[in-house]
Structure 1
Amino acid sequence: MGKLRVGFDCRDLFIAQTGTRTFSEELLDEIRKDPMVELVPLSPSGVILPKGLVSKAFAHIQFIVWKVFLLPLMARQTKVDFLICPDYVAPFWFLGRIKTLPVFHGCNIWELPQNYNSVWRLYFSFLARLGQRRAFRVLTVSSFSKRKLTEVLGIPASRITVMPIGAKTLEKAADRSDNAERPLSGEYILHVGVLDKRKNLPALIKAFSLLPDQQLHLVLVGGRPSKIFMDSYPEIQATVDELNLTDRVHLMGYVSDDRLPLFYKHAKAYVFPSVYEGFGIPVLEAFQYHLPLAASGSASLPEVVGTGGMLFDPGDIKQMAGVIERLLALTPVELDLLRCGQMKALSHYSWPNAWNTVKEVMNGK
């Protein structure tokens, strides 16, 4: 029996900023290691990250043409057996016997409509719904997301498989160097992620302002989202200015993977206040560095955090501040218990486990 030919829609390697790009990079690396599989990367040509309204409109048209026409035709020409689509939308015609596997990272497009352009959301939702109906199986990243896909889109639970994705690979030279410069001279708590509205960062800044330690800093790593409807930067900056925290809250912008480990390595704790996450990869990144972690108790985060961190109500600023304060005051014994929970999570959520789950789906299990 020959190798299984697996096609992979690589468009997000050029377009996505965080989540689906990390997913694509890490899963592709895992597939390449598999001697029983022949990976067939499929990419559109001439993809440019849109910046203005005209280029964004053109990018939307390119997306439709790619998903509806070019990707399925390319998949047929390369004679793949399966086609993995990491951005919700799988082709629904011109496929022949090719089996599609769309990956849904959550239901935020449907549950947080205010964060998206209504026209873009309409056609994206239309394509995603059509694609999942013709799919061989639907993949998702958490039990929470599986439940929501059933509730919101009506996909039968029997057609949805949860794959336990892992942390982003961050082991770089900067991480291993004891002589590398600290990103900040003082002690700080950390958040890593695009400045998206659902990340709830103004609430984190308000909670941070209530902490008694006036020497502590807050570091926010991440650039602004490409979609204006999601951009929380104006509100974040206004909150910092209003609370007179310009000397203690640091917006670092985009940080490369070569430097990002330094921010984790020297942080005092990690806080993840998001109101909606289909999974939450930064939780696992923080676990890799054994950071004390406090996270929102919403959506998938309790599932991912497990016993590796503390939870709070993302809508209750005083409670958030109280949990962060308790987190910073944990005893060595209590920290050891958290780290046991973190190691348990990291042993389950990994890219080898994720790929093995996908292969079981392909084999009809």
Structure 2
Amino acid sequence: MVIGIDASRANQEKRTGTEWYSFYILQELKKIIPSEHQVILYTKEKLKADLAELPKNWKVKILNWPPKFLWTQFRLSWHLLWHKIDLLYIPAHTIPFVHPKKIALVVHDVGFHRQDKLYNDQTIGYQAPLAKKIINFLVRFATLGKYSAREQDYHQFSMKQAAKHATKIITPSHFSKKEILDIYSLDANNITVIPNGFCQRAHKIEKTATAESLFKKYKIASPFLLFIGRIEYKKNIPKLIEAFHLLKTKYHFPGFLVLAGSPGYGFEAIQEKITKYNLKEQVLIPGWVNEQDLAQMIKTATVFVFPSLYEGFGIPVLEAMEEKIPVACSAIPALLETAQNAALFFDPNSAINMAETINILINQKEVREKLIKLGQEQIKKFSWHNSALTTWNLLKNL
């Protein structure tokens, strides 16, 4: 069997959630897929060093595409038109116009449909006026006028493609499966729940790395609360800033809040809220953080906070548990499913409840120790190897 895999997301230099998912699934599939099957990785550019080592039955096909945007729909489609494969596996993106009959697509969540106001709706690709018009024309032409080049339209188009063409949809939680079934007319048997794994980052900390060196590099001091993810509306960062303000003024928390991630939709408003509460010196935003530093950052945090308004799974929650850091997170379905009784939950719409919950984990040693112990048990249910093995069993039987 010839298996094609869209590796474009796994090959990103600064990976975040779905990109890390793609990377780790591919790394594990390299160990699992038998040698009698040929695997082709499709990517926009040369594979990054940590992804480039391939088994003998694997190869990479670099599909150059100078415009950068719409690579899947145009460049990958063009290649698949002339080079047939038996199966296409897409860990984190969308289905190309031209594709084989057998397709397995991972849908991480459908937040763009349920919480559309939390998502940017600008035109994809270049933002120059002429470029935007050209992109919009190409998208409307390719979709027979049904969709524009706006991000919301692109998400909706991608899911309509999935509903119509995917042989199997993989999703990481029972909550996400239910959401997909509620929104789209699909057969439940065509959607398979395969939970994500998580990165065991402890071994990635360099032997010479210390908490002191990390603090100096990022100008952090202990104690600090840690959030990992894109700094945006969807992750509920404005409400987290309000809760942190309460922690400082009502509960007299002496430490910092570290937001480790790249700016996302709503970042400017978040900065304004930080200024409003006079927290510029206490809220630290180091940007995207590499794996080694992130591992040390998690390890030295006082509490890990994940205040998202919508998630499909919640990988960072497990990463914090693995490092024996107590977790406070939103009482939303996906996080309740992933963390279960190993986290302390709060109402994501209440800064007061959020602050109260975090304060418990800061000050109540018994609760911290109980959650850390429960977290060590909870993480045993998840691994990238198991995720990849279940994925392979699905792929080979399509």
Q: Does the alignment reach a TM-score above 0.5?
A: yes
Residue in structure 2 matched with residue 112 of structure 1 by the alignment: 115
Query: Which stretch shows the higher mean deviation, 126-135 or 149-158?
Result: 126-135
Q: What TM-score do you get using the length of structure 2 for normalisation?
A: 0.79
Distance 1:186 1:277 in 2: 29
Matches within 5 A, 1:178-257: 179=210, 181-183=213-215, 184-211=220-247, 212-225=251-264, 231-257=265-291
The offset of 1:168, in angstroms, is 2.7
Cα shift at 1:194: 1.2
Asked if structure 2 preserves the Cα contact closer than 8 Å seen for 1:88 and 1:105, the reply is no
1:33 aligns to what SS in structure 2?
Answer: helix
CA distance in 1, matches of 2:154, 2:204: 43
1:44 aligns with 2:44: yes
Equivalent residue number for residue 31 of structure 1 = 29
Q: Which amino acid in the other structure matches residue 9 of structure 2?
A: D
Aligned twin of 1:53? none
Q: Cα deviation per residue 1:29-72 (whole Å; 9 max; x = unaligned)?
A: 0011115254321123599xxxxxxxxx95444342135x2353
Distance apart, 1:138 and its partner CA:
0.7
- Further displaced range: 84-93 or 156-165: 84-93
Q: Is the 8 A contact 1:189 1:217 kept in 2?
A: yes
2:87 to 82, 100, 103: 82
**2:287 matched to 1:278?**
no
Q: Is the 8 A contact 2:81 2:98 kept in 1?
A: no
Residues 247/124 of structure 1: CA separation in 2 closer, same or farther (3 Å cut): closer
**Cα distance in 2 between the residues matched to 1:315 and 1:19:** 23
Q: Which moved more, 1:317-326 or 1:212-221?
A: 212-221
Aligned-residue Cα RMSD (Å) equals 2.5
Question: Which residue number corresponds to residue 54 of structure 1?
Answer: none
Sequence identity of aligned pairs in percent? 26
Structure 1 CA distance for aligned equivalents of residues 43 and 224 of structure 2: 40
Structure 2: runs of 5+ lacking an equivalent? 48-65, 123-149
Q: Give ranges in structure 1 of 5+ residues lacking alignment.
A: 48-56, 226-230
Other-structure match for 1:101: 104
Q: Does 1:166 align with 2:205?
A: no
- 1:179 and 1:126 map into 2 onto residues whose CA distance is 47
Asked if the contact 1:220–1:251 (Cα under 8 Å) also holds between the matched residues in 2, the reply is: yes
The Cα of 1:157 is off from its aligned counterpart by: 1.6
The offset of 1:217, in angstroms, is: 1.1
Task: Verify the 8 A CA contact 1:295 1:310 in the aligned structure 2.
Answer: yes
TM-score, normalising length from structure 1? 0.85
Residues of 1 paired with 2:108 and 2:278: CA distance?
37
User: AA paired with 1:85?
Assistant: I
1:18 alignment partner AA: T
**Distance apart, 1:74 and its partner CA:** 6.7
Partner of 1:10: 7
CA contact (8 A) 1:188 1:218 kept: yes
SS at match of 1:252: coil
**Deviations 1:209-250 (CA, angstroms, capped at 9, x unpaired):** 11213412111111113xxxxx22212211111111122111
Q: What secondary structure does 1:304 align onto? A: helix
Deviates more, 1:265-274 or 1:348-357: 348-357
